Structure 1
Amino acid sequence: MHQDSPNDSWAIRIAQFVKRFGTLKLSILFVLVTLVFTLGSSYVVRVSLGKSVQPDDFIIAIIITLLSAPWVLYFFSELVKQLENSRTNLKEVVSQLERLREEDVFLNRELQSNIRQLNHEIEQRKQAQEEREAVFKELEREIDDKSSSEEQARRLSTLLRSIIDASPDLIYYRNEEGRFAGCNRIAELLTGKTEEELVGLTLHDVFEEELASQIVASDQEVLETNASITEDLWLRFADGRRRYFEMKRVPFFDAAGNRLGLLAFGRDMTERKQAESAAAKANTDKTRFIATISHELRTPLNGIVGLSRMLRDTDLSEEQFNWVSTIYASAITLGNIFNDIIDLDKLDRDKLELSLKTVSLRDFTEELSSIIRLLAADKGLELVTSINEPLPQQVEVDGTRLRQILWNILFNAVKFTQKGQVSLSVSATEAANGVSVVTFIVQDTGVGIPDTEIDKIFAMYYQVDHPDHQSATGTGIGLAICKQMVDLMSGDIRVSSEVNQGTRFEIELPLQISTKPMQASKLLVTDLNILLVEDIELNVMVAKALLEKLGQRVDVAMTGQEAIDKARENTYDLILLDIQLPDMTGFDVANVLHEEDLVMQTPIVALTANVIKKREEYLQNGMDDVIAKPIKKSRVVEVFNLLFAEPAAPTERDVEQKRDKPDANKSLSNILDMDLLQMLVDTIGEDMVRASVKVFQDKMPEYMEILQLSLSADEKSEVCSQAHKIKGAAGSVGLSRVQRIANQIQQGDHPAWWQNVHDWVEELQMAVQHDMNALDEWLNEQVLDD
C-alpha cells in the first residue's frame, strides 16, 4: 500500500482522510460538528452580548445549520472529490512518470549495456578481423609452404621412383585382396607387363600356378603373423630367362596403423647360386680327385704292405728282417698319413662318422705297439707299453679312428725324440651306467713344445716354430684331425710339455662296456672258391698270395667282362670285386651278375682304394661288404668270418645300373656326323651350312645359360627339356658328340642322373666349344678341297 509522504500538503491529507473515512460518515460528522459549532457560537455570542440564551436561538441555529451544511458539505465533498481525483490523476501521472523514469532508467541501463556489448562485439570483431587477417597470412604462408612441400614431395617422389626403377632389385606391392598395386621396372621386365597393366592382377594371373601357390602360401603366413618372411625362389622372366631371387615380403601400414598390404623385395642371387653350385662342384671334383689319388696311391702301397708282410713271415736273417720291418712300418706310416688327408676331406664335408665295434683294449694296444715299436727301434728308441688294471675287457669303439688318433700322437713322439724312450699307458675308471672312461697317456723324452706354442698345436696346418722341430717335417694336420676325432667321440685331449724334457699327451674317452662276443681273430673258414676281379698285376699277386696262404682257392679275372664270363661258367663261394676296372665299373659287373641271377647265393665284396664313399653306398649298389686297399689280413678274416662263419645279416639291395659316359674321342669322326655334313654340303651348299652353324653358335650361349640355371635350381624337367632342344639343334648341324652328351642329359630317368648330370653339363660345355672349332676347320677344308 502506498504510504503518505510527510511532505504532502494539508489539502491532500484532508482529501486522503475524507477518502479513507468515507463521505457519508464525514458528512454526518461535519453536520454534527457544524451544528455543535453553530450552537456553541450562538451561545457564546448571546452570552457575550449579555443576552439570555433562548431555545429559539438554538432552533434557528439548527435550522440554518441543517440548511447550509448540506450545501457546504456538497461543495466540500465535490471539492475534495475533485482534489482527490486530481491527486489520483496526478499520482497516476506521477506513477506513470515514475514508471516512465524507471523504464527510461532501465532503457538507459539496457542502452548502456547494449553499448558496452556493442563495444565488446566491436572489439571482438576487430580482434576476429585481426585474427582472420593473421589466419589469412598464415594460410597464405602455409599455402606457399605446402606448394613448396608439394613441389619438394613431387621431386622426392620422382627421385624415389627413379631410384626404385633403377634398382636392380625386384620390388612390388600388393593390397589386402592380393592384387598388385604397384611395381618397379624390374617387375615389369619379369612379368612382361607395364605397371598399369599389372595393377589389379593377382599372382595367379602373372606367375605359373605352382609358383603362384607357393608365394600365396608365404603371403598368408605374413598376413597371419604380421612378420616379414624371406625365401628363395626361381622366377622366370617374360623372355624365358630364369633367375634366382631372394624374396623378402613385409606387411606395410598407414600412419594410423592400418595394414595396407604386402611389400615385396627380391634380390637377384643367381650369381651367388651359381657360385655355390660351382663351389659344390669344386668340392665334388676335389672329392673325386682325392678318390682317384686314393686309388692310384693305394695300389702300389697295397703291394708294399702285402709283400713286406709276407716277407716278414719267411726265413730271413735278423738284418733282413729289420729291413723288411722298416719297409712295412714305413708303408703303414704312409697309409696313415694318407688316411689323415682322406679324413681332412671328410671333415670339410661333415662326412666323418663313427663305426662302433667290439674291441679288446689289450689286443688293440698290443697290435698298435708292435708297429710303433718297429719305428722306435729304427731310431734306437725304446717303446714302453703299460696296461693298468682293472681294464674293461671289451669296449664299443671305432677302432680305426682310435688307432688313427694314437698312431698320430705316437708317430709324432717317435719323430721328435732323438734319444730315450716313448711310453704308452692305458687305464680306465670303474664303469658307471655301463660307461668307463678310458685314458691313454703317450709320453716321450723328446724336444718338447714351448709354452707359447701349446695352445696352437691343435690348429689345422700349424707347425711349431722352433729350431728343434725343423729337423722333422710334416703336414700340420695330424693333431688337428686327432682333436676333432676325440671331440667326435665326446672325449678330451690334453697336452703338457717342457722344452728338451719331453711331451705328454693324455686322451680320455668315455667308452661303452661291450657285452657282445668278440669276432674271431683267426679265420674260421677255408677252401673257399673265390673269384678275384682285379686289373693290376701287383694287387693280384698280393691278394692271391694272402688268400692262398689263408687256405682259399683263387681264380682271377682282369676285366669286368672276363669276370661276368667266368661267373656264367663257374659257381663261386665269394667274389672279390675291384670297383675300377678298365672296361666297366665294379658296380656294373655287380648289376649284371644280379640281373642274370648268377650270384643268388654268392656274396660280393668290393675291393676299393676309394675310402671317400661310405660303406652303405657299396651295400646299396649290390655289394655285401667292402674291403679297403691295401688289403689287411685282419679285415679279410673279419669279413670272411662274418659272411661264412656267422649268419650274415640280410641287406637291402638297391641295384642301380650305370651307363658309361661317351668317350671324348678327339677323332673327327667321333665328334662330327661326317655323312650328314657331307650330304648337307652337297645338297644345300656350304654357305647354307655355315648360316645354320652361325645360328647354332648365336643360340648356344642362351641355351647353355638356361640349362645351367635350371640345373642350379634342381629343376630336372627343365634341364631335360633344354637338353632336348640342344640335342635337336646339334643334330641339325652335324655335332654328333654334342648331340650324344645332350641326349644323356635329357634322359632324366637314368638311375644315376643326379650323380652324373653336373659332369655331363660341364662336358657338354667343353664339347660345344671344341667341336664348333672342329666343325669350322672341317668346313674350311671343304672350301680348300673345292
Structure 2
Amino acid sequence: MTKKTSVEPWAMRIAQLINRFGAVKSSILFVIVTLIFTFAGTYFLRGIISDNAHTEDFISASILTLLSAPWVLWFFSELVKQLERSRESLEYAVTQLEKLREEDELLNHTLQNNIKQLNHEIEQRKNAQLERESVFTDLEREITEKSEKEKQASQLSTLLRSIIDASPDLIYYRNQEGRFAGCNRVAEQMTGKTEQELIGLTPHQVYDEELASQVVASDHEVLENDVSVTEDLWLRFADGRRRYFEMRKVPFYSADGTRLGVLAFGRDTTERKQAENAVNKASKDKTAFIATISHELRTPLNGIVGLSRMLRDTNLTSEQFAWVSTIYASGITLGNIFNDIIDLDRLDRDRLELSLKTVSIKDFTQELGSIIELLADDKELTFAAHVEDPMPALVEVDGTRLRQILWNLLFNAVKFTQKGVVSLEVKAKAIDAETSMVTFKVCDTGVGIPPQELDKVFAMYYQVNLPEHQSATGTGIGLAICQQMVSLMNGTISVSSVVGEGTCFTVDLPLEISKKPIQVETLKVTGLQILLVEDIELNVMVAKALLEKLGQHVDVAMTGNEAITMARDKQYDLILLDIQLPDMNGFEVANVLHDESLVEQTSIVALTANVIKTRQEYLDNGMDDVIAKPVKKSRIIEVFNKLFCEQPSEPHQPAPEPKKDHLNTILDLELLQMLVDTIGHEMVRTSVKVFQEKIPEYLEILQISLSADEKDEVCSQAHKIKGAAGSVGLARVQKIANEIQQGDHPAWWQNVHDWVEQLNQAANQDLQKLINWLSQQDIDD
C-alpha cells in the first residue's frame, strides 16, 4: 500500500475548516471578512485614485458586498458541499482504492506465490520429464542389453549344450527327489532313452535293481552330507556293451544358494581298467615266472649244494676238499643270486619280510667268512675278517637278510678286486642298555668307483662303466636290494671309494641286544616215520640221505596220487611235501589228506624251491611249516625240534593233540549244515551259484579300487564280499574280507595288498571246496 501525501490542497483545507465551523458561522465570518476586505479595498483604491475616501463609497461597497456575499456564500457553500462530497467520495474512493490495492497486493502476492508454485511445479515437471526421459533411455538401454544378454545366453546355452553333448563323459543331473532332470547324449545312449523320456524317472525305473540301489545310496550320501562322492560302476549300455565308469557326484545350487539336486559326471575308464588288469596280469605272470625259474634252478642247485656239503664231510685229500669247497661256495653264490631275484619281486610287491632270531655276531662272521674265503682263494686274494670288542654276545636280527646283504657286498668286493685284500670289519657302539649300533665295513683294494658314480651305485639295474673290467659286471640289482633291506632293518648303508685304490661299504644297523641264549641246533627227535614226496631223483637222493643220516625213517613218493595212496595205507609222523609235482600240486595233495582225515596226527611240511610265497600262505593252505630248497641241515633240525620236541621217549609213536579239521577253517560247516537242513540243498546250491557269478566282478572292482588308492571304496567292496561270503558259509573268505574292510587298522596299507591277494586265492579255492562239500552232502543223502 502507498503512503498518503503529507500536504493536502488548500481548497480541501478550507472546505474542512468551513465544515468544522458550520455554514452559519462560516457565512457570518465570510461576510465580515468580505466587508473588511471591501472597506479596505475601497479605501485603498480611493486613496490611490483621488486621495480622498467618501462614506458613500464605503456604503455602496458594503451594499454591494451584502448583495453579492449571499450568492458568493451560497456558491462557496455549494462548492464546499460539493468539495466535501467530492472529498468524501474521494476518501471513499481512496479507501476503496486502498482496499482494492490491498486486495490487489494480496492477489498479487497470491499470484506471485502461485507463479512461484507454478514455476516450481513446472520445474518439477520438467525434472520429472527429464527423469522419465532418462528412465526411458535407461529402460531402452536395459532392454537392448537384456536382449543382447538373452541372445548371448541363448548362444552360450547352445554352446554349452553342444559341448555337453559332444563330451565323451556321461553327464546327468537329478533333482532333490532323485528324479532325472536332464542329461547329455552319452547318457541317452547308455540308457536307451531320450532326455525328455528320462526326465521325471527315478534310477529304479532306468537301471537294474542292484545298480539302482548303489546309485541311490551314493545320491543320498551327496544330499545327506552335502559332499561330493566318487564311485566306480559297471554300466550296461542299451546296445549291450558293459563299460566301467568312474562317477563323480556333486551337489549343485541355484544362484540364490538353494540346492537343486545332484550333478553327476562319469568318465569311461574301461581302457584304464583293462590296462591295470594287464599290468596286474603281467605282475602275476612275472611272479609265476620267477617262482617257476626259481624252482627249476634250485632243483639242480639243491643237488649241488647238498652233495658237495656231504662230500666235504667224507675223507678227501686236501686238493679234493678244495675242489668240493669251490663247488659248495659256487652253489651258495648261485643261491644268493636267486635270492636277489626273488627279493626283487618281493620288493616290487612290498612283501619283503623280516624274521628276527637270536644270532651271535662272532659266529655269524666266522661262518660267512669261511665261504668268502673260498671265493677269495680262487682269485689268490687275501680275506681278513675281524670282530672288534666290545661286541654284544647275542643280538636279535634276521640272519638270512643280513647274510644276503653282506654276501652281496663281499661278493662284489671279490669280483672287482684283481689282487690285494678283501676285508670284513665288525664293531659295535652301545645306543642304550637294550640296543647297540653294529657297524659292518667291507673294504677291498680293487678298481674303485669314480666319484661321479658314487651316488648312483644303489640305483636299481645301475652298473658302473668299467671298460677294463667288463668281465666283472653283474645285473645291477644286488646293491639296490641291499639298500632296501638295510632300510627295512632301520639302518643305513654308505660307500666311499678311490679309483685304483679300492672301495669301502659301511652298513650301520641298530640291533636289539638279546638276553636269551641261542638254542643249540641239535636234533632232539629221531626215529620219525617220514613220507618224502618229491619228483626229482637228485633231490630225493640228497634229502633222503640227509634225513637218514639224522636218524629218521624215510619212504618216498614221486607223485601226488602215490603220496595219497601211501598215506592211506600207513600212518606217518611227518610228510615232507614238495609243492611242484607232475600230477597235482602240493596244496591239492594236502587238501585231499585233510578232507579224508588222513593227517589228524601227522604234520605236513612244505618242501619247496618256490620262496615267492610267504610262510603264512603255506600255513593257510594246510601246512604246518615250510622248508625252502636247497635243504639245509640247520633248517631241518629247527623244524623237527619245533614240531616234535615234546614227543615222548619213543618218537615213532607220537601222540599229539588232534589237529583242527582243515575244512572247518575254510567253511562254516555249522552254518552250512543249518542252511541245508532249513532251506534245502537246492536253495543253498542256488545261493552258491549266484555268489560264484558275482564274486569275479566284486574282486575285480576291489582290485581296481586298490590300484586307485581308493581306501573307502576298497573297504566298502570288502564289506560287500564279507557279507556275501558269510551268507554261503565261506568262513576264510569272510575272515580275510573282514581284515580288508577295517580301514582304521594302523598297518592297513602295509598289509592290504597281501590280504587282497589272499582273498583272490581263497575265493577260488574255497568256492570249489564248498561245491565239493555240497556234492558230498548229496551223495550222503
Distance 1:81-1:653 versus aligned 2 partners, 3 A rule: farther
Aligned-pair CA distance for 1:581: 1.9
Name the structure 2 match of 1:337: 337
Give the paired residue count.
656
Q: Tell me the equivalent position of 2:752.
A: none
Q: Secondary structure at the match of 1:364?
A: helix
- Residue 95 (1) aligns with residue 101 (2): no
Native 8 Å contact 1:534 1:578 kept in 2: yes
**Distance (Å, rounded) in 2 between the aligned partners of 1:650 and 1:419:** 61
Corresponding residue SS for 1:518: coil
Give how far 1:230 is off.
Answer: 2.8
1:86 corresponds to 2:92: no
Structure 1: gaps of 5 or more residues? 49-70, 659-704, 716-746, 760-786
Distance, in Å, in 2 between the alignment partners of 1:16 and 1:712 is 139
After superposition, residues 26-105 of structure 1 pair within 5 angstroms as 82=85, 85-99=88-102, 101-102=104-105, 105=108
Q: Deviations over 1:606-651 (max 9, x none)?
A: 1011100010011111111100011011111111121122699999
Residues 620 and 112 of structure 1: is their aligned pair in 2 closer, same or farther, counting only changes over 3 Å?
closer
Aligned residue in 2 for 1:186: 186
- Asked whether 1:638 is paired with 2:638, we answer yes
Given candidates 750, 755, 764, the residue that maps to 2:761 is 755
Q: Which residue of 2 aligns with 1:534?
A: 534
Separation in 2 of the partners of 1:347 and 1:656? 34
Cα distance in 1 for partners of 2:97, 2:115 equals 25
Give the structure 1 partner of residue 323 of structure 2: 323
Over the matched positions of the two proteins, sequence identity in percent amounts to 61
- More deviation in 117-126 or 320-329? 117-126
Seen in structure 2, the aligned counterparts of structure 1 residues 307 and 103 have a Cα distance that, compared at 3 Å, is: same
Once the two structures are superposed, the pairs formed by residues 342-741 of structure 1 within 5 Å of their partners are 342-432=342-432, 434-645=434-645, 655=663, 712-713=700-701
Structure 1, residues 262-307: CA drift from partner, whole Å, max 9, x if none? Answer: 3221111011111111211121111111111111111111111100
Flag the 1:204–1:73 CA change in 2: closer, same or farther, 3 A: farther
Aligned to 2:681: none
> Normalising by structure 2, what TM-score?
0.74
Per the alignment, do residues 502 and 207 of structure 1 end up closer, same or farther by CA in structure 2, a change over 3 Å counting?
A: same
Q: Which residue of 2 aligns with 1:146?
A: 147
What SS does the corresponding residue of 1:392 show, helix, strand or coil?
Answer: coil
Q: Measure, in 2, the Cα distance between the counterparts of 1:426 and 1:753.
A: 44
**Corresponding residue of 2:669:** none
CA 1:349/1:555 → structure 2, altered by over 3 Å: closer, same or farther?
same
Q: Which moved more, 1:73-82 or 1:259-268?
A: 73-82
Q: Do the aligned partners of 1:252 and 1:259 also contact (CA within 8 Å) in 2?
A: yes
Q: Is the alpha carbon distance of 1:461 and 1:135 closer, same or farther for their aligned partners in structure 2, counting shifts above 3 Å?
A: closer
Report which stretch shifted further, 439-448 or 89-98.
89-98
Q: What one-letter code is carried by the residue in structure 2 that aligns with 1:320?
A: Q
Q: Aligned-pair distance for 1:388?
A: 1.3
Q: CA-to-partner distance for each residue in 1:375-409, whole Å, 9 max, x for gaps?
A: 11121122211111221222221111111101100
Q: What letter is aligned with 1:86?
A: S
Letter in 2 for 1:95: E
The structure-2 alpha-carbon separation of the partners of 1:547 and 1:109, relative to structure 1 and needing over 3 Å to count, comes to same
8 Å CA contact retained: 1:356, 1:396: yes
1:583-622, Cα deviation, whole Å (9 max, x unpaired): 2222222223223333223221110111000100111111
User: Which moved further from structure 2: 491-500 or 187-196?
Assistant: 187-196
Equivalents in 1 of 2:524, 2:16: separation in Å? 167
Q: How does 1:182-221 map to 2 (within 5 A)?
A: 182-221=182-221
Cα distance, 1:37 vs. partner? 11
Contact 2:699 2:760 in 1 (8 A): no
Instruction: Verify the 8 A CA contact 1:218 1:229 in the aligned structure 2.
Output: yes
Q: Counterpart in 2 of 1:306?
A: 306
Q: Contact 2:230/2:246 (CA < 8 Å) preserved in 1? A: yes
Aligned position for 2:682? none
Runs of 5+ in structure 2 lacking a partner? Answer: 44-73, 648-655, 667-692, 704-727, 734-757, 766-781
| Match in the other structure for 2:266 | 266
Could you tell me which amino acid in structure 2 is paired with residue 622 of structure 1?
Answer: G
Question: Which whole-Å CA distance do the structure 2 matches of 1:379 and 1:500 have between them?
Answer: 18
Aligned-partner Cα distance in 2 for 1:613–1:535: 21
Aligned-partner Cα distance in 2 for 1:263–1:433:
62
Q: Which amino acid aligns with 2:645?
A: A
Change (3 A) 1:630 1:472: same
Change (3 A) 1:116 1:609: same
> Following the alignment from structure 2 to structure 1, what is the Cα–Cα distance between the partners of residues 399 and 233?
46
| Per-residue deviation, residues 94-139 of structure 1 (Å, max 9, x unmatched) | 1244135425644764686578568757966886797588668757
* Larger CA deviation: 121-130 vs 622-631: 121-130
Partner of 2:687: none
Q: Evaluate the alpha carbon distance shift between residue 115 and residue 576 of structure 1 in structure 2; reply closer, same or farther with a 3 A threshold.
A: closer
Alpha-carbon spacing, 1:489–1:43, altered in 2? closer, same or farther (3 Å): same
Query: SS at the partner of 2:471?
Result: coil
Answer whether contact 1:27 1:73 (CA < 8 A) is retained.
Answer: no
Rate the CA distance shift 1:756–1:166 in 2: closer, same or farther, 3 A.
farther
In structure 1, distance between residues paired with 2:633 and 2:129: 118
User: Residues 432 and 757 (structure 1 numbering): CA distance in 2 closer, same or farther, change over 3 Å?
Assistant: closer
Pairwise CA distance, 1:205: 3.2
- Select between 402-411 and 237-246 the one with higher mean Cα deviation: 237-246
How big is the shift at 1:415? 0.9
The structural deviation recorded for 1:561 is: 2.5
Is the Cα contact below 8 Å between 1:579 and 1:587 reproduced in 2?
yes
Q: What CA deviation, in whole Å up to 9, does each residue of 1:738-770 have, x standing for no partner?
A: xxxxxxxxx9989899439999xxxxxxxxxxx
In structure 2, the residue matched to 1:236 is 236
Structure 1 length-normalised TM: 0.73
Q: Distance in 2 between matches of 1:36 and 1:10?
A: 18
**Superposed displacement of residue 530, structure 1:** 1.6
Look up the equivalent residue of 2:608 and give its one-letter code: T
